[in-house]
Structure 1
């Protein structure tokens, strides 16, 4: 633990034993990533028990959809305010409270006896999960050097894909073997175990001690005597970071389309039964998640000497996905089509890690969670929410296949936004340097 009467030692990384300095960041990453898996497992396990709930409670499809949508709605509404609150109140304390809330709420789902009770429990799940992605990644990035931020951000964000697949797969198995209530109970228990480990091993003081760029402490914390906090307006007054938000959100548009519509694609155009279509589609979901990790690692390697290369990498990933998905959905059914779509899926969200790293590079460390919250909202509004909805409307008029052919065009807009951000990057760094000391350190390798 950090001694509060020795504030000078807190900000001196060399005082920390080298072995612990090597291990602790990976402990933080493992636990925050594990909690992200828990987040999405608790969110998506509902999909695995849809047929059972529909039959047992005589629910309509709109009722089932509302149980899912209420979570997404709460995430969209509360991500930014809760991220700002976490930056001020303390990120570790906020993460613990969030994880406890969504785990307990998932347990309430397990004992729900009606649609109304389940809807209320799912509402609480959404409240608990609302800002975890933005605050969790902010905590993880705090203890790692900027030169690996793209890889870490890509790996962290891929947890959404992996958690969704795991939640549906394990939830479906448990529901068949032990009943649907145990599906929710298992996810809740997993979350509570992880949050107990997180609480025992990670604290605000330890994060301050091991911080690479300076501790993300709250106003008045003894480890930050001046109590300085960058103004919230700096999240939106730097054009380079604003274009990064836009580019990040738009590049998620086609990826979200793949996540939502690939089961229907295989069902309608390959004649697979719904269960088999879901299994095959899960392979493409895993490709999306794997691509986020690998593309982040590649970006960090090629941008070690020149940080601006992160922008170029993100643009290249958009171009590859545009070409492969556009060509793949224009071909006739067969192995070649699936290979092209698979390559496109791999790169479809590859810009996520570089974009998150660029947001981190262009915003003050005291607003890290808030900045990631804004990026999360952009990803949700421009990509995760807008993509499936727009393609659904187009599919009603053009057919699903023609709508899917159009979806990669969003990469053109994403690449243009990222290109503008790259051109404004030097000016963005100068604008960051005009803030109080502490913002400069997060632009270095």
Structure 2
């Protein structure tokens, strides 16, 4: 038998397949910024992995600070998304179905607003001469998110906690448009897919792999009380975001250097 909650996956998933099929109508654009000596449109000129990893090593601080910083940022997001429903049920006695009904729209509406505002801020910074605008947006998002995650777990009732989660969802999604664009900006054209894949691998390995588990372990082995999940959310989130902000800050100068070097190479290949 298929339970109602399982039917939701079909309802949501089938339209996604139809939308994905539209990609077959998208033409491959002409490649730009390809070093001299390589055919810009020839599929057989993809960089071998040894060259990809050589480029990563040459720009190790840029990719370390970017990838690990956003992975830690994602660790908070995955941890919160996994444990906010149990937080409401354990702390305020809400039914899980009620949490989904009232919290889901907050994620959709204010998460979307956060992505749009993050893109606007990135463009605003870039127009004012910040070459590191995309990574700087990550730093701003982490610093802005930190105080908001200290607030909602300590609210006296569920309604107040929901209101406090609005800025959390705005800033939690704030930087991930810029994060993806940053990878494209500092990576040679024909390495972008491979280096983007590595970035997404780390986001899922660290963020999804360790985020929810870290909250569970903190609740069980630090507090020994399942009702202390609110404090575990604060501790895990604060540590992850503090480390993410530090990495973003350390990565600003290397990011600018990597971008300048790539732009010089692109200019020389014209």
Question: Shorter-chain TM-score: which interval?
Answer: 0.7 to 0.9
- Show the counterpart of 1:293: 116
Q: 2:92 touches 2:158 (CA, 8 Å); kept in 1?
A: no
Higher relative contact order (CA 8 A, sep 6+): 2
Distance across 1 between alignment mates of 2:189 and 2:73: 25
Instruction: Choose which of 179, 190, 207 in structure 2 pairs with 1:383.
Output: 207
Normalised TM-score (structure 1): 0.51
Are residues 1:428 and 2:258 paired?
A: yes
> Which residue pairs with 2:232 in the alignment?
403
Q: Is the 8 A contact 1:329 1:341 kept in 2?
A: no
What residue ranges of structure 1 are gaps of 5+ in the alignment? 1-44, 50-170, 173-182
Q: Distance in 1 between matches of 2:69 and 2:84?
A: 23
* Equivalent pair of 1:241/1:362 in contact (CA under 8 Å): no
Counterpart pick for 1:329 among 153, 156, 168 = 153
Is contact 1:364–1:438 with CA below 8 Å preserved after alignment?
A: no
- Checking the alignment, whether the CA contact within 8 Å between 2:65 and 2:247 is kept in structure 1 is yes
Q: Is residue 413 from structure 1 mapped to residue 243 from structure 2 by the alignment?
A: yes
Q: Flag the 1:193–1:344 CA change in 2: closer, same or farther, 3 A.
A: closer
Q: CA RMSD in A?
A: 3.3
The answer (yes or no) to whether the contact 2:111–2:173 under 8 Å persists in 1 is yes
Shift of 1:321: 0.7
**1:242 and 2:47 equivalent?**
no
What is the distance in 2 between the residues matched to 1:367 and 1:198?
A: 21
Within 1, Cα distance between the matches of 2:182 and 2:75?
A: 19
**How many residues are aligned here?**
255
Query: Hey, what's the Cα distance between the residues in 1 that align with 2:163 and 2:198?
Result: 34
In the alignment, the residues of structure 2 paired with residue 282 and residue 196 of structure 1 have an alpha-carbon distance, to the nearest angstrom, of 27
For residues 243-262 of structure 1, what are the structure 2 equivalents within 5 Å? 243-262=65-84
**Secondary structure of the equivalent of 1:303?**
helix
Equivalent residue runs for 1:10-29 within 5 Å? none
Matches within 5 A, 1:18-417: 48-49=5-6, 171-172=7-8, 184=10, 187-188=13-14, 190-199=15-24, 201-204=25-28, 207-208=29-30, 213-214=32-33, 223-224=41-42, 227=45, 229=47, 231-233=51-53, 234-238=55-59, 239-286=61-108, 287-304=110-127, 305-333=129-157, 335-397=159-221, 398=223, 399-409=228-238, 410-417=240-247
The alpha-carbon distance between structure 1 residues 196 and 317, as it changes in their structure 2 partners (threshold 3 A), is closer
Structure 1 residues 252 and 267: alpha-carbon distance in aligned structure 2, compared to 1, 3 A threshold:
same
Q: Give, in angstroms, the shift of residue 272 of structure 1.
A: 1.5
Matched-pair contact (CA < 8 Å) for 1:236–1:242: no
Evaluate the alpha carbon distance shift between residue 46 and residue 191 of structure 1 in structure 2; reply closer, same or farther with a 3 A threshold. Answer: farther
- Structure 2, unpaired ranges of 5+: none
Quick check: 2:46–2:191 contact (8 Å CA) kept in 1?
no
Distance 1:310 1:275, change over 3 A: same
Tell me how far 1:250 sits from its aligned partner.
0.8
Question: Is the contact made by 2:118 and 2:175 (CA closer than 8 Å) also made in structure 1?
Answer: yes
* Other-structure match for 1:111: none
Write the distance in 1 (CA, Å) between the matches of 2:268 and 2:204. 27
Shift of 1:374: 1.4
Change (3 A) 1:186 1:249: closer
